[in-house]
Amino acid sequence: MKFLILVKEKVGAPPLENWEDTVVKSRAFLEEGLEDGWLECVYNFANATGSVAIVDVESHEEIWTKLHAYPLSQVQTYEAIPLIDAMFAFDQIMAGMMAFEPA
């Protein structure tokens, strides 16, 4: 199951106790996710307002677990949007078009 993850700063979150350590651990978490393959890509927005990632997981519970294991999760909010393969979607649309018979 693939998801687009939109990440934003959590408004009103208390400051982290050890910012530097958390940043180092967060980078290591992302590098490990990329190496393991469940994290396909991750990008920060150029205007520094958040980030985006694409993940490939087996279940909704796995995505929840991964997001909450991320060291910066205390100061971020997430929106997980399910993705489908674009060619699958086109195939389904085209199949429906061919089955349609004008009156």
pLDDT tens track for 55-67: 999 999 999 999 9
Q: How confident is the model at residue 35, as a pLDDT?
A: 98
pLDDT of res. 103: 55
Largest Cα separation within the chain, whole Å, is 68
Least confident of 2-6, 12-16, 80-84: 12-16
Facing residues of 81 across strands?
Answer: 4
Domains annotated for the chain, with CATH where assigned, are: 2-99 (3.30.70.1060)
Distance separating alpha carbons of residues 3 and 71, to the nearest angstrom:
20
Q: How confident is residue 74, by pLDDT bands cut at 50, 70 and 90?
A: very high
Q: Is the whole-model pTM more than 0.75?
A: yes
Alpha carbon separation from 24 to 38, 67, 72 (Å, rounded): 20, 17, 10
pLDDT at 99: 63
Which of 78, 70, 80, 79 is CA-nearest to residue 16?
70
Alpha helices in 1-103 (DSSP H): 19-36, 60-69, 86-99
